[in-house]
Amino acid sequence: MQIKTKVISFILVIVVIMLTIQVATAEDKIESFEESDDMVILSPIGNEPIRVINDFEMEGLLSLVEEERATTERELEGYIAELTGLSDEAIGKLIKQSEVIGIDVFLLLGIIRVESNFDPYVVGALGERGLGQLMANTARPVANNMGIAYDPELLFDPEYNILLFTTQLKYLYDFYNGDIHMTLSSYNRGQYGLEKYMASRNGYTNPAMSTYSVTILEYANTYRIEFDNY
């Protein structure tokens, strides 16, 4: 099953659940069947009765949602493993961080592709290290703010690097109010570098757009499409 179909199915189930929760709280509109565990509520449009699912059916729906979520996550883990060659632990960390910071996992994959080509041991020309190509002057304050130990050698550990670079990305994303080009370009250039870059492009429609940001978004879109057909 393709991810679009899964997402649609998931949304439909959630809609049913949310409708049930909403109408069940309207106690003045609820009538009980004398010989059934089901419930009836009055429609907000007219007085046509709408059947509300019982507890057993609710448990079944929640179970289906959980099974669908677990299946999709397993397929996502398999896709990322084939794409990146990363360990199960690193992949799990990447997916978890995507959920924690609320940024698309395919965008994170795009960043890693551009920064390190999925090589956790690569060192950049200016000393950048690991999957997210973090420099010491970025990684150290991020680690300190998180209350975790900083060690430059740990930047070669995929899980540690993922934690730090995604945390920095989230900070930039919030700082720039969700502007993805400003977020990505500042991740690449630094915040002061972004200011100078944008000042040199003040005649452009989107002065924060850069080759770097566009390339990452293109990779993210490619990976999303590939996974849809995985």
Domain ranges across the chain? 1-84, 87-230
Contact, 184 vs 116, CB < 8 A?
no
Task: Give residue-wise pLDDT tens across range 43-67.
Answer: 455 555 555 556 666 666 666 666 6
Compute the half-sphere exposure of residue 8: CA atoms within 13 Å on the CB side of its CA: 6
Cα–Cα distance, 205 to 142 (Å, whole number) = 32
Cα–Cα distance, 112 to 157 (Å, whole number) = 14
pLDDT at 23 over 90: no
What percent of the chain has pLDDT above 90? Answer: 67
Contact, 52 vs 39, CB < 8 A?
yes
For the record, the structure tokens of 216 come out as 């990452």
Residue 218 has a pLDDT of: 98
Report the CATH fold assignment for 87-230: Lysozyme (1.10.530)
What percent of the chain has pLDDT above 70? Answer: 70
Compute the half-sphere exposure of residue 133: CA atoms within 13 Å on the CB side of its CA: 19
Burial of 4 (0-12, 13-18, 19+ CB in 10 A): exposed
Residue 72 has a pLDDT of: 81
Instruction: Look up the pTM and report it.
Output: 0.74
Per DSSP bridges, beta strands 30-32 and 49-52 are: unpaired
For the record, the structure tokens of 222 come out as 């490619």
Mean residue pLDDT across the chain: 83
> What mean pLDDT is predicted for residues 204-229?
96
Task: Give residue-wise pLDDT tens across range 57-110.
Answer: 666 666 666 666 677 889 999 999 999 999 999 999 999 999 999 999 999 999
Query: How does residue 17 score in pLDDT terms, banded at 50, 70 and 90?
Result: low
* Amino acid occupying residue 138: T
